């Protein structure tokens, strides 16, 4: 076997230029596939992380009636009991009770429909990191009377800036319309431009005088310390508080789970297509090698090399070529991913604003799990073996007596 490996290795380099061209082609093809896969994977993972953290959270607790009617009067009946249970659970990293109301935002120039979210500013910051998304102005933690946070897209649309005055109109728990004047404290921007255009944040303490008696919590957003613990945490909360609707992130936004599954499948399809295209180049290279060595192969079989060894020799040569190209491609891919995973790739020049409209970040950090490279290596080996079969069969069809007479 050692002799066969040595002969195969020497045969690979008999035509150095052709072998190098094939190795470089495999390397560049795989590098392109790996980097595109890392870019897509990074974009999907960032979208998932940002969507969960900034908008939907890991778990939401609500009054079942609120999901049907979305009226502000349907709140958490015993907010204090639920709060104590959440504070005592070590799996919970943070939670925020919210007051939700649909209404209108009016300025001197125009009116738009928006969703009003009343928050405890400190809890919201520790749960969703809303304070980290402020582009202009200040967070509403220590602001004065009736501050409001508005999204950048909404601010640009109706020409508002920190310090601007506006009026919010919404229904109280009695179903009556109430209006209140607010001042823009800050302008925020998340990864989802459509969300930013339709949601404003105010303090719960500022809403209470207009909503009605007592504090009304319509939604509790919960973030777990580990996403792997989310399902178990949800099951525990369902047993403790069966009167509430308790939904995990994949129940709230099933399209996120679907996108995660689809992304993994698409990455594999891209790589299979690239390897399929490269396999034609490998077949062509090995066929040329076989035809050039027709007389030599005939002599080897004439002096006693059996057909199995000839078949194995051609197969080993193909595997050598493929593995060298694959190693180069994976090395280039790994280095590229490590480089851009720190600096990121700004997609603003090619439609970053459009990406934000669909919840994707404008700066993408490529990333791939190590298991992807192991799976890719298996695909490469399978491709090399399958690619070598046809040239090897061509070599086996040679008749020693005829082959040795060929010039």
One domain, residues 277 and 397: yes
- Please report whether residue 250 resides in a domain: no
Winning range, highest mean pLDDT, from 19-23, 60-64, 193-197: 60-64
One domain, residues 19 and 44: yes
pLDDT in tens, 126-158: 999 999 999 999 999 776 789 999 999 999 999
SS3 131: helix
Count of structural domains, the chain: 2
- Cross-strand bridge partners of residue 59: 222, 248
Cβ contact 51:360 at 8 Å: no
The Cα-based distances of 271 to 81, 268, 283, 373 in angstroms read 52, 5, 18, 11
Helix (H) or strand (E) holding 90: none
One domain, residues 157 and 285: no
Helix (H) or strand (E) holding 246: strand 245-248
Block residue for tokens 């190693």 = 327
Domain termination residue (choose one: 221, 243, 265): 243
Task: Count CA within 13 A, CB hemisphere, residue 154.
Answer: 32
- Please report whether residue 383 resides in a domain: yes
Asked if residue 407 has pLDDT above 60, the reply is: no
One domain, residues 263 and 187: no
Lookup: tokens for 94: 């943070």
Q: For the stretch 246-275, what's the b/e string if a residue is b when 16 or more beta carbons lie within 10 angstroms of its beta carbon?
A: bbbbbebbeebeebeeebbeebeebbeebb
Distance separating alpha carbons of residues 372 and 365, to the nearest angstrom: 17
SS3 76: coil
One domain, residues 71 and 215: yes
Q: Which of 332, 343, 330 is nearest to 370 (CA)?
A: 330
One domain, residues 149 and 42: no
Could you tell me which residues come within 8 angstroms of residue 98 by beta carbon, excluding any fewer than 6 positions away? 117, 118, 119, 124, 204, 217, 218, 219, 220, 221
pTM over 0.85: no
Distance separating alpha carbons of residues 76 and 55, to the nearest angstrom: 20
pLDDT in tens, 385-394: 888 888 888 7
Q: Which of 113, 328, 96, 91 is nearest to 225 (CA)?
A: 91
Eight-state DSSP code of residue 401: H
pLDDT in tens, 39-57: 888 888 888 888 888 888 9
Distance separating alpha carbons of residues 300 and 296, to the nearest angstrom: 6
One domain, residues 274 and 311: yes
Lookup: tokens for 342: 């720190």
Domain termination residue (choose one: 189, 212, 243): 243
One domain, residues 302 and 203: no
Give start and end residues of each alpha helix (H) in 108-214: 121-128, 152-158, 193-198, 204-211
- Please report whether residue 152 resides in a domain: yes
| Domain range for 275 | 2-52+256-403
One domain, residues 176 and 206: yes
For the chain, what is the mean pLDDT? 84
pLDDT in tens, 288-327: 777 776 666 667 666 667 778 878 888 888 888 888 988 9
- Please report whether residue 57 resides in a domain: no
Measured between its terminal Cα atoms, the distance across the chain in Å is 30
Cβ contact 81:261 at 8 Å: no
Taking phi over 0 as left and psi of -120 to 50 as alpha, with beta for the rest, 38 belongs to: alpha
């Amino acid at each position: 076997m050692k002799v066969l490996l040595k002969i195969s290795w020497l045969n690979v380099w008999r035509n150095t230029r052709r072998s190098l061209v094939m190795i470089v082609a495999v390397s560049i093809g795989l590098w392109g596939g790996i980097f595109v896969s890392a870019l897509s994977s990074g974009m999907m993972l960032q979208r998932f992380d940002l969507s969960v953290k900034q908008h939907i959270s890991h778990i939401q607790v609500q009054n079942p009636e609120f999901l049907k009617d979305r009226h502000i009067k349907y709140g958490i009946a015993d907010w204090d009991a639920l709060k104590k249970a959440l504070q005592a659970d070590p799996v919970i990293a943070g939670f925020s009770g919210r007051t939700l109301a649909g209404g209108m935002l009016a300025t001197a120039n125009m009116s738009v429909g928006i969703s009003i979210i009343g928050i405890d500013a400190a809890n919201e910051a520790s749960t969703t990191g809303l304070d980290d998304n402020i582009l202009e102005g200040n967070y509403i933690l220590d602001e004065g009377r009736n501050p409001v946070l508005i999204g950048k897209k909404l601010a640009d649309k109706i020409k508002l800036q920190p310090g601007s005055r506006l009026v919010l109109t919404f229904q109280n728990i009695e179903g009556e319309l109430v209006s209140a004047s607010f001042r823009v404290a800050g302008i925020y921007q998340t990864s989802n431009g459509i969300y930013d255009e339709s949601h404003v944040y105010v303090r719960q303490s500022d809403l209470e005088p207009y909503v009605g008696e007592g504090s009304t919590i319509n939604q509790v957003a919960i973030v777990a310390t580990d996403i792997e613990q989310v399902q178990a945490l949800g099951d525990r909360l369902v047993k403790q508080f069966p009167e509430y609707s308790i939904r995990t992130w994949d129940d709230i936004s099933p399209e996120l789970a679907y996108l995660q599954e689809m992304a993994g499948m698409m990455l594999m399809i891209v790589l299979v297509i690239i390897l399929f295209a490269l396999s034609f180049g490998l077949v062509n290279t090995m066929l040329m090698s076989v035809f050039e060595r027709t007389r030599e192969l005939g002599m080897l079989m004439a002096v006693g090399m059996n057909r199995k060894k000839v078949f194995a020799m051609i197969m080993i040569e193909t595997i050598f070529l493929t593995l060298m190209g694959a190693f180069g491609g994976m090395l280039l891919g790994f280095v590229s991913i490590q480089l851009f995973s720190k600096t990121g790739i700004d997609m603003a020049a090619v439609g970053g604003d459009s990406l934000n409209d669909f919840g994707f970040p404008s700066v993408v950090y490529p990333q791939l799990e190590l298991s992807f490279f192991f799976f890719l290596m298996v695909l490469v080996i399978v491709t090399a073996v399958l690619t070598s079969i046809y040239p090897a069969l061509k070599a086996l069809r040679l008749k020693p007596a005829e082959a040795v007479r060929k010039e």
